[in-house]
Structure 1
Amino acid sequence: MTNITQKVRYWAAKFVKDEAGATSIEFVIVFPVFMLFFGMIYESGMVSARHVMLERGVDIAVRDVRIGVITDPTPDRLRARICEVALLIPNCDTQLKLDMVTRSLRDWTPIPTDVLCANRGDPAAPKVRYTNGGNNELVYLRVCARFDPVMPTTGLGKAIVENNSDSAAGGSFALIASSAFVVEPFRREEE
């Protein structure tokens, strides 16, 4: 029995003193954490870049309406202009919804707080609030775009999917950009 005990002690001491593979153990512990952080940084960078491009597209489209480049701003024309400028929006034609309402400058009524976004549960649902403004009217434009997370199973992407589990979102998240402008008085009223 003492011979077996001596052998066990010998192998245990040898195992404890052996440093081969120590780097691999550190790598196995640190690498997944590092990759999780990298994935979350990449996901948040993509969200930020897409939001900046959406804001830029809305600003340029509204500028084109204000200066008269887009003379009759229909939802299709505005969507096409926004999609032309905002290059980071995948499936822009189907994932972008416009909400355009007019308000009187003298008799203000609150703007609806609900935001119209693409309904992935019912893609044929044409929910659009669109009112083209007349001369000297304030027009408030809100644009909602739906995006899928780049990495939907880890980190920030997983949190986005879990927080948007209803059928309208379909595992996506919405980014909203808004702008307001006054229709210039040089425009002629439609007769």
Structure 2
Amino acid sequence: MNSETRISRLGRFAGRFCREENGNSTLEFAFYFSIFFLVLAAGVEIAYMNLRHAMLERSVDRVVREIRLSTGEIPTYEQVRLSICDQAVIVDDCQNNLMLEMVEVDPRNVTMMEPNPDCRNAQEEPRPVRNFVHGKDNDLMLMRACLKYKPMMPSTGFGKELNLDTEGYAQMIVTAAFVQEPR
């Protein structure tokens, strides 16, 4: 069989293949299903991220309220972190991935916290707390909680757009302000 015969056979096969309509619905299904799945995955990722953020914010607010209203003992950093993690039920591995900062702020000369929060993930070595100061009576306090978490689907849709660290963790930051009640 010479090369011209092979080329003509290949040309006839390609012509028949292009005219044939069998399998069109399969191609359409595969194309539209993959797009639908990416949109669905992004929606699930966003919903779970919002739920995780809401639970973290709620637990920080509740703990800040306890600190603000408590007139007895002053809780330690570990007690505050443990209390936040106990109340943020949907947050995975909170004990190892949550870092807190609390600073006293002068209301007449406001200086905000350092712009880059102190965050760490469970893969990193533990490091000392950067700033956790209990205020005196009637002091304005700022508390910032930084949680590192692993996205559910880091390679699809919204998860791909998150700012991830080298181990694949994204960060979530919650800030609360309160005035320390007199003890």
TM-score, normalised with respect to structure 1: 0.79
* CA shift digits 1:65-124 (9 cap, x unpaired): 122187312111111111111111111111000000012334543432221111566322
Q: In the alignment, is residue 176 of structure 1 matched against residue 173 of structure 2?
A: yes
Q: Residues 13 and 65 (structure 1 numbering): CA distance in 2 closer, same or farther, change over 3 Å?
A: same
Q: Residues 164 and 153 (structure 1 numbering): CA distance in 2 closer, same or farther, change over 3 Å?
A: same
Structure 2 unaligned regions, length at least 5: 1-7
Equivalent residue for 1:148? Answer: 150
Equivalent residue for 1:104? Answer: 106
Instruction: For 2:106 and 2:17, locate their aligned partners in 1 and report how far apart those are by CA, in whole Å.
Output: 85
RMSD: 2.6
Instruction: For 2:154 and 2:64, locate their aligned partners in 1 and report how far apart those are by CA, in whole Å.
Output: 33
Report the AA paired with residue 171 of structure 2. Answer: A
Instruction: For 1:33 and 1:40, locate their aligned partners in 2 and report how far apart those are by CA, in whole Å.
Output: 11
Structure 1 unaligned regions, length at least 5: none
- Alignment of structure 1 residues 151-166 onto 2, 5 Å: 151-160=153-162, 163-166=163-166
**Pairs aligned (count):** 174
Q: State, as a whole percentage, how many aligned pairs show the same letter.
A: 33
Q: In the alignment, is residue 54 of structure 1 matched against residue 56 of structure 2?
A: yes
Instruction: For 2:23 and 2:103, locate their aligned partners in 1 and report how far apart those are by CA, in whole Å.
Output: 66
Match of 2:176, SS state, is strand
Q: In the alignment, is residue 90 of structure 1 matched against residue 92 of structure 2?
A: yes
Match of 1:51, SS state, is helix
Deviation, 1:21, is 2.5
Deviation, 1:127, is 3.7
